[in-house]
Amino acid sequence: MEGPQFSTLAEANFHRAMKFDVIGMTNVTEAKLAREAEICYATIAMITDYDCWHPEHDSVTVSTIVAMLNQNASNAQNVVREAVKTMPAERKCNCGSALKHAIITDPRVIPGKTKRNLAAVLGKYLP
């Protein structure tokens, strides 16, 4: 689901019929950008609400979402704090060279201004 947005009742019932346990807003854009910048990336997904189908819960409102987001922000800070403690000094993944074979344009035809604009991300690959 592209977000942020609330599901309609029809969408919520469809998700339940498909036996989905969790409905998440997509992070594909962030994941792609991190990959292009050769940055290791992981998602922390935290629940904000029951969808509109749940008979024992109030309707989803902006105020309940914001309250849960604030609580989740604190939870996420704790997760990141603990994750950083366990990170290795050197990464052994391929994220740091994800673009090595991704540039198919002959570097000789890439304008100097473009190379300068992309230097932070592509500098090690563009002479």
Full 3-state SS string of the chain = CCCCCCCCHHHHHHHHHCCCCCCCCCCHHHHHHHHHCCCCCCCCCCCCCCCCCCCCCCCCCHHHHHHHHHHHHHHHHHHHHHHHHHCCCCCCCCHHHCCCCCCCCCHHHCCHHHHHHCHHHHCCCCC
Q: What's residue 3's pLDDT?
A: 60
Q: What's residue 77's pLDDT?
A: 96
Q: What's residue 109's pLDDT?
A: 95
Residue 58 annotated to the active site: no
How open is the CA angle 33-35-39, to the nearest 5 degrees? 100
Q: What's residue 59's pLDDT?
A: 73
pTM score = 0.62
The overall longest dimension of the chain from CA atoms, in Å, is 64
Check: CB of residue 127 under 8 Å from CB of residue 108: no
> pLDDT in tens for each of the 127 residues of the chain?
566 677 788 888 898 899 987 777 778 888 899 998 999 998 888 887 776 667 777 777 788 888 988 999 999 999 999 999 998 989 889 999 999 998 999 999 999 999 999 999 899 998 8
Residue 106 annotated to the active site: no
The residue from 21, 49, 58, 106 that is catalytic is 49
Q: What's residue 72's pLDDT?
A: 92
The residue from 21, 51, 58, 106 that is catalytic is 51
